[in-house]
Amino acid sequence: MFYNPNLLLILSSSSYFCSSFYGYLRRNELYRMDLVNALATSSYWMDPDDIFKHKMNIFVWSFTSMGFFVHGYKTLPPYWRTIVYLNLGGMLSFLNMSYVLRTLNFKRWYYFHFIFHMFMFANKMIIYSF
C-alpha cells in the first residue's frame, strides 16, 4: 500500500499545505480550497488503490484549478497572465505525460507527476502574490 514512488508524491502534494498557509497569510479566500485540495491529494497518494479517494482527488483538483484560474484571470496584471498560461500549459502537459506513462507501465512515471505538482505549486504562489 505504501511504496517509494508514493513517498515522492506525498511530499510534493504536501507542498500544497505550504501554499495554503501562504494564501492564509495573504488573506486570500482561495486558501480554503487549496487546503481541501492538499488534504484530498495527500490522502489519495497515501492509499492510491482506493477508487473513492481517486475520484475525490480528481473532483477537488478540477474545482480548485478552476477557482484559481478564474481568480488569476481577474486579479493578475496582463504580463503575469502570460506566465500563468505558460505554467498552465506545463502543468497540463506533465499531468498528461504522467497519466500516459503510468498507463504504459513506465517505471519512472511518478517523476512527471512530481513536476506537475511543482507547476501547480508555482501557479498557486503566483496567483496568491496578487
Q: Which residues neighbour 65 within 8 Å (Cβ) at sequence distance 6 or greater?
A: 120
What integer pLDDT is reported at residue 79 of this predicted model? 87
pLDDT of residue 84: 86
Q: Which domain holds residue 69?
A: 4-128
List per-block mean pLDDT (blocks of 10 residues) for the chain, which spans 130 residues: 72 93 94 94 90 93 91 89 89 94 92 94 92
Model pLDDT, residue 92: 92
Kindly list the distances between the CA atom of residue 77 and the CA atoms of 51, 83, 122, 123, 129, in Å, as whole numbers in the listed order.
40, 10, 17, 14, 11
Q: Which long-range contacts link 8-12 to residues 24+ away (Cβ below 8 Å)?
A: 8/110, 8/111, 8/114, 9/45, 9/110, 9/113, 9/114, 9/117, 10/42, 10/45, 10/46, 12/114, 12/117, 12/118, 12/121
Predicted pLDDT of residue 40: 94
Q: Which residue has the cell 473532483?
A: 59
pLDDT of residue 4: 65
The predicted structure's pLDDT at residue 63: 92
Count of domains forming the chain? 1
pLDDT value at position 44? 92
Looking at residue 3, what is its pLDDT?
54
Please state whether the predicted TM-score (pTM) of the whole model is above 0.85. Answer: yes
The one-letter code for the residue type at 89 is G
